Amino acid sequence: MKMRSVIPMRIAKVGYIVMSVLFCAVGILFIALPEFSAKIMGICIGIAMILFGVIKLIGYFSKDLFRLAFQFDLEFGILMIVLGGILLFRPGDLMTFICIALGIAILFDALFKVRISFDSKEFGIKSWWVILFMAILTGLAGIALIFDSVVGAKILTVLLGLSLLTEGILNFFTVVSTVRIIKNQFPDVIEVEAREIDVK
């Protein structure tokens, strides 16, 4: 029987890790430099969201062994691509909108990660509590980003940076803890050759 290719899983896992580190780096940059240009900030976040959305879609269709980290990534992948495209189209004019939208996306992602943490506990993954803790912290950052979107630009940039940082850490721990790549993995559906039997 032909084994399933692990290439999409590797792309998704490595992509998740790279994008998580990138989100952390951008988050730290925004926190350290709150006077950063809104237009440049919008372009950076827009590109990152589109790339991460593509990675999420690859992860969803890769069908990894545990099916934990990527199980909700179809919807979130599409959402991130759409929001990233909107932000690239008008990078300097929609920061309040994108902060609210990104805050909502981060909040929902955190809520789904809470579910993933409990699923991970059932699978016997010891670091499930790290995912839970980071999911709660990320959810709080998302809420702060939603309701503080009317504050000054510098404070908003710091909140945005904090949200991106916690989201990056959350996704990093989730993918490292729950994604297992098995080289000799069979397809989900085993194809059985049907034979016609004559009954006399």
d(CA 110, CA 140): 9
Amino acid making up residue 72: F
Per-residue buried b or exposed e for 127-138, using 16+ beta carbons within 10 Å of the residue's own CB: ebebbbebbbbb
Check residue 138 and give its pLDDT. Answer: 93
| pLDDT values of the chain reduced to their tens digit, one per residue, 200 residues | 455 567 778 888 888 899 999 989 989 988 888 877 777 777 888 888 899 889 888 888 877 656 677 777 888 889 889 888 888 887 666 667 777 878 888 898 899 889 889 988 888 888 899 999 999 999 999 898 888 656 666 788 888 889 999 999 998 988 888 877 666 555 554 444 444 444 44
Please check whether residue 123 is in contact with residue 174, taking contact to mean a CB–CB distance below 8 angstroms: no
d(CA 123, CA 167): 23
Check residue 192 and give its pLDDT. Answer: 42
Q: What angle do CA 175, 60, 95 make, to 5 degrees?
A: 80
Domain regions of the chain by residue span: 7-178
Please check whether residue 38 is in contact with residue 178, taking contact to mean a CB–CB distance below 8 angstroms: no
Closest CA to 45 of 106, 87, 100, 76: 87
Per-residue buried b or exposed e for 16-42, using 16+ beta carbons within 10 Å of the residue's own CB: bbebbebbbebbebbbeebebebeebb
